[in-house]
Every structure is written in structure tokens, then in C-alpha cells.
Structure 1
């Protein structure tokens, strides 16, 4: 993403003025899927694609915002009744309102922003946008809000102004990202720890199936329900259990006859996935990327066969990775579409991408989109 482009558009729309420039990244999640609402761990990292905004205080009580990518301009006030109609502007408005609710003093400002996070590919473009403005406005208006609260401001914006009941992972990764590191986030306690991720000789690449990333909400809710049903059954013998994160396979086995085969299968995936995250952390501390890859394949198998949230296109891309000797591959995100994330040795990269494109197109009539990503820093001021 080019700072010069953002600067030139800002000057064009706001009388040649110059403001401050801030950026926040999108994210990947290496492993740990459907573990968040089960009290488990996720393992995200910030990427080298994100959102960038130029901002200047304008001395009024109005925000004047220009979306460079959409070529759309909106003005709005800072009171609750001033909420803009344009969905993209609601993210900025929501961040302003959430800061104000926390005692921050926000005044009117001019802003132009652009992004290079692919939309709908599961890399959290909306979290990148929220984090950019939360970080920037906190800095510019000296609100004194800590980074954790900035992530929560982004999450609350989704809940209260955009109608998305998301977890904290996306905003957390965007604000806390660190080049060369992934972050293990404990979704129960919100404790976190950085782990080294410097896969020399490997590339991280996402293959977008271009299947609509609709988290079929009814299917998602059904899976949450399965997990809660099993926890309730285990709790009868183990009152200390609150989430599947607290359960072992032995505990699950003991209630096998008290729950449906489907509920058992869903829970088996989650318990194994929480362990896989911990195994990957151990492997990264030893620089053992072969084990990391093996666990990624394990996650894909579990999501496809036990949690049943994959789809034909994603399974095809995973098989293609296996066939081409890719170290690790899995569906990334909630499932039902979106991308696979792949850890590929550099010498195998070209052949893998060529085969994936060609064979996928032969079967599905279109090519997958290819996104190379590098683990990068979180929210920051650029100029």
C-alpha cells in the first residue's frame, strides 16, 4: 500500500492540506479454528496488507471522510443520532463513538483511507480499518487508552454499529502484531504470548477458493450448540468444567452414550484442535516447521470430516497441496468458503501454484486467487 497515493488523494479532497498517516494490518490465523468460543487458544499474526489513513483535525464537530477505494465521500457528526448510512463509514463512526463512551474527547477531522487487504478472503479488512482509526484517534487526541482497550473498541464497533457479533482475535492481531512473530491468545483469560515465526526457506501463501465466505450462520450456531451440549453433559461428572477447553478426550469418551454422534464428533475436533495449537507453539520454539505443517493438515482433516465446515473447493486445494509436497495446508477461518493457508518450501512454490491454478480451473471453471503474505507489525503511525 502506497503512502503517496493516500497523501495525494487526501490533498485533492481537503484543500492541499497534510495530516498524519496511520496504518493497521489484516491478519492470518495459522491454527486454532472454532476454538475461541470454546475458551481455547487462537494463533494469529499481522500481515503485510492492511489499511492506511491520513487524518487531520479540522476544528469543527464534523468528520469528513473519503474512501479512496470506493470513491465515496461522507460527512457525519459525533453524536449517536449522526450515524451515517454508508456501511464503510459506520466503522469510523463506531470507533469515534466507542472512544467517546470511554471518556475520550474526539473532535471533527478530515480523513482519506485506502486498503490492500482482499475483501471477503478472511483476512479481516474490517478489523484493520477499525484498528487504524482507534490507534490514530487515541494518538491524535491524547486519549490515553491502552492497546487492549483499542482492540476492544474495534470489537465493540462491530457489535454495536455493524451488526457483527465477532470475537476479539481480529482486532487483537491488528493492534498487537509484531514482525517475525505470531501471537498465542488465550480466549478465556485474554493472556497472550509472542512466538517466533521466521520460516526461512518457506513462503506463506493463501489460496482463495472464491467461494462466498458466508459463515452459514445457522450452521455456525448449530456447532456452538453441539459444543455447549457436550460441556453440559461432562459438567455432571466434572462440575469444574466451563468450556471444551477444560475437557480431555477421556471426559468426552465417558459421555459418548449420553450425547449424539454428531455432538461427540464436533467436540472431538475442538479438543484436538486446542491441543494442536499448543503443539505448534512448542514446535515453533524449536524451529520445527515440519511438525507445524503436520498439525495444519490435522486441522484441515478435522474441520472437513469432524466439524464439517469445509467445502469441495477447499478440500480440493488441500489435496492439491498434499500432492505437491506442501509442508502444511488447511482451511483458514470459519469455513464454508474462503481460503486455504499454506506453508510451502520456496523450491516447491512455483510448481504448486501453477498446478493449483490449472487443476482448480479445470474442475471448477475459475482460478483461485493467490495471496502471498509476510508476518508484519501491528497498528502504527507512519508520518
Structure 2
């Protein structure tokens, strides 16, 4: 995203004056799926695609906002109890309210924003938008600067309270805390996190978007969450002396001890979750050692688990994964909740052109449409540009 692009629109729509420019990225998650609500680990990183905004206080109590991509303009009062109806403006209204709750004395401002996060690809454009404005409002109006965690939680609360999305914290966390050349292992239970080096020389990180989204996603998500809760209930009954709040607190011996107390389906779901916990920790060791072959192996194992144990894949995603394996791609897996969306692939440079051509050709032959390809690079999180 070019500063000049955003600035030219801001100047055009707001009296020829300039303001401050801020940016926040979208994110990928290398490994660690369906672990957040099980108290486990996720492994995200900020990417080189995101949201950029220009913003200038206007001396009033009104927010005047222009979405460059949608060519839509909205105005609302800072103290308006209901806020705007436009769905994109609800995110902006929500972050204003949540930052106010955290002690930032937000005043009226003019703003324009644009993004290059591909919509529908699972890269969290909404979290990038929330994080961009949380950072900007804190910088402009925060006499007592709030913490980065406050910004993360303000973004999550915006989703919950104003947009009707009961999301976790990974997306906003990655957008705010991202660092160039680093991935982050986030403990979803304690919120502790650690940076790990991600400098895969000789490899490229590429998303292959299946351009499908099956309607099973929301009900299937609830079913799988219930399966995990069923196993936790069995573990609590079996081990009353232990504190078992989520599957994070179980080990393999404990899980095997209750296999006759739970359904075969519930057992499969729990097997995936415990396996994913182990895989995330193995990837930590591999990254510290610069061992990207092991990272790739664990990505394939995660895809297998998501497909066969957690059963959140679909025919199209499995086919993309099969092509990657056949072409010798180092690592490939579903990224996100499943039932559509992207695979994330770790591809050797010398295989890249062949893989991209092959996956486009074979996928189009089978499904009548080409997948979308997004190269991503790990970059910094929320920041002021100028």
C-alpha cells in the first residue's frame, strides 16, 4: 500500500489538508488451529498486506470517515449511542468507543483509509482496520498512552460489541505485536507470548485461495467445540484431584484413560488438539534451529489432522494439499477454521514457478476456476508511517 495513494484521497475529500498516516497488517497463522478455545498455542505473524489510514483532528465532536476502496463516506458523532449502520463504519465506531472506555480522550477527526488485504482469504482485514485506528487514536489523543494489549482488547471488544463476531484475540494480537522476520507463539490461556525467528532463506510463503467457502462452517465449529468440552467433562470426572479447564491441561495418558467414556468422534477431536499442541512446540524448536524441513513436515501433519481427525477440511482444500505434496512443496496445510479458504504453503524458491503453474492448471481443470495466489512476507505490526 502506497502512502501517496491514501494521501491523495484524503487531501481530495478533506479540504486539501494532510494528517498523520498509520498502518496495521493482516496476519497468517503458521500452525496452531482450533487451539485457541482449547487453551492452547497459536503461531501467527504480521504480513506485508494490511490497512493504511490518514487521520487528522477536525476540532469538532464528529468523525468524518471515507473508505477509499468502497468509495463510501460516513459521519457520526463521537457520543452517538447507536453509531452508523454501514458495516465497515461499525468497526471504526466501535474502536472509538472502546478506546474511550480505556481512557483515551478521543475527539472528532477526519480520516480516509484503504487496504490491500485480500478479502475472504482469512488474513483478518477487520482486525487490521481495528488495530490501525486503535494505534492512531492512542497516538493522537492518548495523553496516558494505553498499552499494546489494551489496543488488542479494544479491537476484540469492537468485534464482540458492535459487529456481532465472537472472535478470539489472535488476529488483533498479531496485527499489533507483529515484528519483521519474527513469528509469535501466543499462549491463548495466559496471553504470554514469545518471538521466534522466521527467515526462510531459499523459501517463499504463499497462500493458495480455494475461492470456496462451504456453509457448514458455523454449525460445525460449534459441534467441534462441544466435542472438546465433552472430553474435558470426562477428564474432570476421571481426575477430580486435577485442575482441568480445557484440553490444554490433558496429556496423552489422561486422554487414553477416558477413551471408553467418550464417543469415537469426540476422541478424534481431542486427539487432534493434543497433537496440535505437540506440533506447535516442535515448530518452535525447529525455527530456533533454522530447520524449515521439520516446519514443513509439521504443517503437513496438521493438515492431515484437520482433515481426518477434526474433519474441517473439504475436497478442494485436500486437493490443493495433495498437489503441494506431489510437487515437493516443503509444507502445506489449511489455514483458518476450514471448509474453504486458503492453504498456506512453504515453497522452495526453485520449485515456486512450477508449483504455482501446476496448482492453477490442475485446480482449474477439476473445479472450473483458478485459485488465487498471495505471496506474503512477515513484516512489522501497527505503526505510525509519518
TM-score above 0.5, yes or no = yes
Q: CA deviation at 1:100?
A: 1.0
Distance 1:213 1:10, change over 3 A: farther
**Distance in 2, Cα, partners of 1:274 & 1:161:** 32
**For 1:202-217, what aligned pairs fall within 5 Å after superposition?**
202-212=203-213, 216-217=217-218
**SS of the residue aligned with 1:60?**
coil
CA contact (8 A) 2:238 2:258 kept: no
The reply on whether 1:17 has 2:20 as its aligned counterpart is no
CA contact (8 A) 1:215 1:335 kept: no
User: Does 232-241 or 85-94 show the bigger shift?
Assistant: 232-241
**Distance in 2, Cα, partners of 1:74 & 1:283:** 48
Among residues 276, 289, 294, which one is paired with 1:291 in the alignment? Answer: 294
Match of 1:95 in 2: 95
The reply on whether 1:156 has 2:157 as its aligned counterpart is yes
CA contact (8 A) 2:44 2:174 kept: yes
CA contact (8 A) 2:27 2:171 kept: yes
**SS of the residue aligned with 2:340?**
coil
User: Does 294-303 or 205-214 show the bigger shift?
Assistant: 205-214
Among residues 241, 245, 248, which one is paired with 1:245 in the alignment? Answer: 248
The reply on whether 1:51 has 2:51 as its aligned counterpart is yes
Distance 1:177 1:214, change over 3 A: farther
**Distance in 2, Cα, partners of 1:35 & 1:197:** 21
Q: CA deviation at 1:246?
A: 1.1
The Cα offsets for residues 284-341 of structure 1, whole Å up to 9 and x where unpaired, read as: 0000000000000000000000000001000000000000000000000010110000
Match of 2:36 in 1: 36
Structure 2 runs not aligned, ≥5 long? none
Match of 1:271 in 2: 274
Equivalent pairs, count = 383
**SS of the residue aligned with 1:185?**
strand
**Distance in 2, Cα, partners of 1:157 & 1:79:** 16
CA contact (8 A) 1:119 1:125 kept: yes
Match of 1:259 in 2: 262
Match of 1:182 in 2: 183
**SS of the residue aligned with 2:213?**
coil
Q: CA deviation at 1:57?
A: 0.1
CA contact (8 A) 1:256 1:264 kept: yes
Structure 1 runs not aligned, ≥5 long? none
Distance 1:62 1:138, change over 3 A: same
CA contact (8 A) 2:102 2:150 kept: no
Match of 1:2 in 2: 2
The Cα offsets for residues 101-154 of structure 1, whole Å up to 9 and x where unpaired, read as: 122211100000000000110000000000000000000012410001100000
CA contact (8 A) 2:217 2:337 kept: no
User: Does 232-241 or 336-345 show the bigger shift?
Assistant: 232-241
Q: What TM-score results when the alignment is normalised by the length of structure 1?
A: 0.99
Match of 1:329 in 2: 332
Distance 1:314 1:196, change over 3 A: same
Match of 1:314 in 2: 317
CA contact (8 A) 1:215 1:334 kept: no
